Amino acid sequence: MGIHVTDNQAASRFEIFENDDLAGFAEYNRHESEIAFIHTEIDPRFGGLGLGGHLARTALDTAREQNLTVLPYCPFIRGWIVKHPEYADLVPADQHERFGL
C-alpha cells in the first residue's frame, strides 16, 4: 500500500500513512471556502523520510483543487509554503505579511 494521505474530515485533519501505520497528520479548521492549518505532527518513528513534505503538498493541492483560501497558522505548513512559493497564491495577498510570505 505504501504512503498515502487521506482527508479525515470527521477529525478535521489530513492523515499520512505508511502502509497501515498512521505516520502523522495536519489539523485544520474549515469554514466555508477557507481552511486554516493549525498543527502538523509526524511521529518520530517516521522522521527524516520526507513524509511531512508529502503531507503538506497533498493538503495544499487538495485546498487548491477545492478552491479554498489557506491560512497557514501552523509553523510547518507556513514554512513549507515559504520554501515552495508556488503555493503562496493560496494565501490571500493581504495576509502574506502576517504569515511572513
The single-letter DSSP state of residue 74 is: S
Map grid coordinates 520526507 to a residue.
50
At 20, which amino acid appears? D
Whether the per-residue pLDDT at 13 is higher than 80: the answer is: yes
Whether the per-residue pLDDT at 60 is higher than 80: the answer is: yes
User: 53 to each of 47, 48, 82, how far by Cα in Å?
Assistant: 11, 10, 12
pTM above 0.75, yes or no: yes
Q: Which pLDDT belongs to residue 54?
A: 97
- Confidence band of 8 (pLDDT split at 50, 70, 90): very high
Map grid coordinates 495577498 to a residue.
93
- Confidence band of 27 (pLDDT split at 50, 70, 90): very high
- Confidence band of 1 (pLDDT split at 50, 70, 90): low
Per-residue cell: 29: 479548521
